Amino acid sequence: MLFTLAHSPQQCDLAALIRLISPSDALLLMQDGVTAALENSLAQSHISVLSCSVYVLSEDLQARGLVGQISHKVTPIDYTGFVDLTEKHTQHVAW
């Protein structure tokens, strides 16, 4: 399953989202959700315990001026990579 986080981690129940994700899933941080990938942030420390793949949409990082400030544990992808994730994971949960 593909989970997408589009809201700021301060404005959603990030702990509940993390409990839903299994190792075979993927998490994509997009829109304001990209702030969860910031190095040394509280949200990133919660996300780092996940055993699934975690991605961040590079266009949203650029739009927010956060390029170079994200954790090395998160993989930046573009919209083509997003499409690839949706093809790989046929079910999608938007958070």
pLDDT tens per residue across span 47-63: 999 999 999 999 999 99
pTM score, whole prediction: 0.94
18 three-class SS:
helix
Q: What is the pLDDT of residues 12-33, one digit of tens each?
A: 999 999 999 999 999 999 999 9
In the prediction, which pLDDT does 73 show? 93
Q: Could you tell me if 74 and 29 are in contact, meaning their C-beta atoms sit under 8 angstroms apart?
A: yes
Residue 29's domain spans which residues? 2-94
Q: How many structural domains comprise the chain?
A: 1
Neighbours of 2 (CB within 10 A): 21
Residue 58 sits in a domain whose CATH number is 3.40.1260.10
Neighbours of 32 (CB within 10 A): 17
